[in-house]
Amino acid sequence: MPDIGVALSTIVSGVLLGGMLALTALGLSIVLGVMRLVNLAHGDFVVVGAYVGLFFLKFTGVDPLLGLPVIALIVAALAIPLYRFLLAPLAERGPEAQMMTMFAVAIILENAFVLGFSADTRSIERDYATLPLTLGPVTVPLIYVIGFAIAVALILAVHWLISRTRFGRDLRASAADAQAAATLGIDVKRVQMLTFGLGAACAGVGGTLIGAAFQFGPSSGAAYLLNSLAIVVLGGLGNVLGTLFGGVTLGFLQSVGGLTLGDGYRDLVGMALFLLVLAFRPDGFLARRRS
């Protein structure tokens, strides 16, 4: 049994990290909810965000955390043409066509990363990314606290956007029933395009945070895709605040798994949990039972 300080530090770090990764998952979740699309390139959008953050720091010298709005816009601007020219024409063709198109985009992106930036593993080098924060017996990485705070703020902002604005109303209508929304005069394609851009922006911001906290390379995307999927399912598809709950829960349980079974079992615990929730509460942990 590890000592109490180690256990507490691990669990608090896990919860903070889970919240941070919830931001990445949020992007996947809203695209799933509105477009019924498992975006297989989502993990690569995260990597795009990390590279954008890296080069942003390199060329402007401005801290990437201050540049997050710009980074979000850049990633969204890269993603929107993908929707416009690749996904929109396939709207009537069922989920496989769009899913495979995004897979193709994923492998093209990975190849482009290798050709453009080499296969090197990289990291956004910042002092605050490697400082500990100690509070009594608990020591957690400072960057996790920063990342958690940013993620929570952004998730709340997206929640506000979706529940309080006109765009949000259109988005909810499109998610519930695209055809019905269209007959009400909602421009579903535009809503989907903006949703896709918003999803990519979330991934991009999450990517910059991940790039600072950890490391990334051309093929890092797949791991973040699966992790995001697990969070989405835990929190409930398209449920914005649920995503945060899902991230925190996953982070907590993964840490417990890591503590008791060893760090290697973290992902295993995550996946097992993912499947269990999927099997017994397919609409997410928070959802009320279907009547």
Partner 1 sequence: MSQRLKNIVKAGSLLALASIAFGLGAARADEIVIGASLPLSGPLAGFGSFQQWGYKRAVAEVNKAGGISIGGTKQMVILIIRDDKTDPNAAASNTETLISRDHVVAMLGSCTPALVNAGALVAERAKKPLVTGCDPLEAFKSVRKWNYVWDLFFDEPELAAAQFKALAELGAQTNKKIAIWHDNGPDGQVVGGKIWPALAKDFGYEVVQNAEFPVDNTQFTSIIGEAKSKGAEVVLVDAITPQAIAIRKQMAAAGFTPKVLNIEKGAEPVQFAEALGKLSDGILVGGYWDSSLPYPGAADLSKAFESETKLTSSQHIADSYAAAQILLDAIASAGSTDPEKINAAIAKTDKTYAVGPVKFDENHTAKLPIVSLQWQGGKTVIIWPKAAKTGEFLFPLP
Partner 2 sequence: MKTSSGLAEVGVLLAAFVLLWFAPSFAGDYGLQIAFRVLIYLTLAESWNLLAGSTGLVSLGTSCFVGLGAYVAFGLMNAFDVPLPLGLACCAVAGGALAALVSPALFRLRGLYFTVGTLALAELLRLIMVNVSAFGGASGIFLQKDPPPLPVLFHYALVVALIASLAITACARSRISVILRAVRDDEDAAAQMGVRPYRTKLGAFILSSALVAIAGGVQATKLGAIEPYGMFGLQWSIDVLSMVIIGGVGLRLGPLVGALFVVALGEALADYPEAHVAIAGVILIVLIRFAPRGVVGFVENLAPFTQKKRVAA
User: What are the residues binding partner 1 (CB under 8 A)?
Assistant: 2-3, 5-6, 9-10, 13-14, 17, 110-111, 114, 118-123, 125, 129-132, 134, 139-144, 213-220, 223, 254-255, 258-259, 262-264, 266-267
Q: Which one, 55 or 214, has the nearer CB to partner 1?
A: 214
Is residue 110 a contact point for partner 2 (CB under 8 A)?
yes
Which among 47-55, 99-107, 148-156, 164-172 is the span making contact with partner 2, rule CB under 8 A? Answer: 99-107
Is residue 46 a contact point for partner 2 (CB under 8 A)?
no
User: What SS3 string covers the chain?
Assistant: CCCHHHHHHHHHHHHHHHHHHHHHHHHHHHHHHHHCCCCCCHHHHHHHHHHHHHHHHHHHCCCCCCCHHHHHHHHHHHHHHHHHHHHHHHCCCHHHHHHHHHHHHHHHHHHHHHHHHCCCCECCCCHHHHCEEEECCEEEEHHHHHHHHHHHHHHHHHHHHHHHCHHHHHHHHHHHCHHHHHHCCCCHHHHHHHHHHHHHHHHHHHHHHHHHHCCECCCCHHHHHHHHHHHHHHHCCCCHHHHHHHHHHHHHHHHHHHHHHCHHHHHHHHHHHHHHHHHHCCCCCCCCCCC
Which of 7, 38, 70, 138 forms a contact with partner 2 (CB under 8 A)? 38
Per-residue binder mask for partner 2 (CB under 8 A), 213-252, x = binder: ---------x---x--xx--x-------------------
What residue ranges bind partner 2 (CB under 8 A)?
32, 36, 38, 86, 89-90, 93, 95-97, 99-101, 103-108, 110-112, 115, 222, 226, 229-230, 233, 264-265, 267-268, 271-272, 274-276, 278-280, 282
